[in-house]
Structure formats: C-alpha cells, structure tokens
C-alpha cells in the first residue's frame, strides 16, 4: 500500500513539474528609418520620417522605449510602439535608439538614423 502511494505521488510529481519553454533570444535585428514626407505646417524646412524596430525572438508582449536625438543634444527616453514617427529639419540627422523588453523581462537594443532631405 505504501509502495503504491509512493508510486502515485512520484508520478503526480513528475506530471506537475513541466519544463519551461525555451524561447529564442530577444534580438533587435535592425532599426529601419525612412523619410515619409514634409511637415505640413513648414514644408520648406522640415521633413517627416518613421523608424521601425525589426525584432525577433523573446517571449512576446514587447514594449518599446525610444530615445531620439540629433547628435548635439541629449534625447529623452519615451515609450512608443514598434514604429515611431517624427519631424526633422532638412539636412540634419535624427538618431533613433530603441530598447525592447519582452514579457519575461529580457531586453535588447538597436539604433537607426536618418538624414532629412528636401
């Protein structure tokens, strides 16, 4: 009777302990930036652009923190989605850094830049 109880408990214990799923490493493969047009209120001086973080792996449920700066001033991190949009003065550069965090807390970072042209 005791041996049978131990066998049942052992079986139950092995069934209850599931192995964790092994997700692939969270990676920012690239940050693609493209000019999308001109700023409607000042089309002669400013352009518009978008940047998209191309991400793979991780456990899903990603959140994105973007920092945008122009090379001579510090940017400030702000939350956003996988794609951000912005404005920039023609013939200036916008650097776009992103940190992605998945639902398990893993993080990955990447960068992209764009020069706005008239």
DSSP string, 27-72: EEEEEEEEEEEE-TT-TTTEEEEEEEEEEE-S-S--EEEEEEE-SS
Which domains are present in the chain? 24-115 (2.60.40.10)
pLDDT tens digits, one per residue of 2-50: 554 344 344 334 344 333 455 699 999 999 999 999 999 999 999 999 9
pTM of the predicted protein model? 0.78
Predicted pLDDT of residue 29: 98
* Position 83 pLDDT exceeds 50: yes
Q: To the nearest whole number, what is the mean pLDDT of the chain?
A: 85
> What would the mean pLDDT of 62-84 be, rounded to a whole number?
92
Distance of CA 22 to the CA centre of its chain: 20
């Amino acid at each position: 009777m005791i041996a049978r109880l131990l066998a049942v408990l052992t079986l139950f214990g092995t069934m209850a302990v599931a192995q964790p799923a092994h997700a692939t490493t969270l990676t920012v493969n690239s940050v693609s930036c493209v000019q999308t047009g001109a700023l409607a209120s000042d089309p002669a001086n400013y352009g518009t652009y978008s940047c998209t973080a191309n991400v793979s792996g991780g456990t899903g449920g990603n959140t994105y923190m973007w920092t945008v700066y122009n090379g001579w001033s510090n940017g400030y991190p702000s939350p956003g989605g996988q794609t951000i949009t912005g404005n920039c003065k023609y013939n200036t550069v916008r650097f776009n850094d992103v940190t992605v965090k998945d639902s398990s807390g893993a993080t990955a970072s990447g960068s992209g830049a764009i020069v706005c042209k008239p």
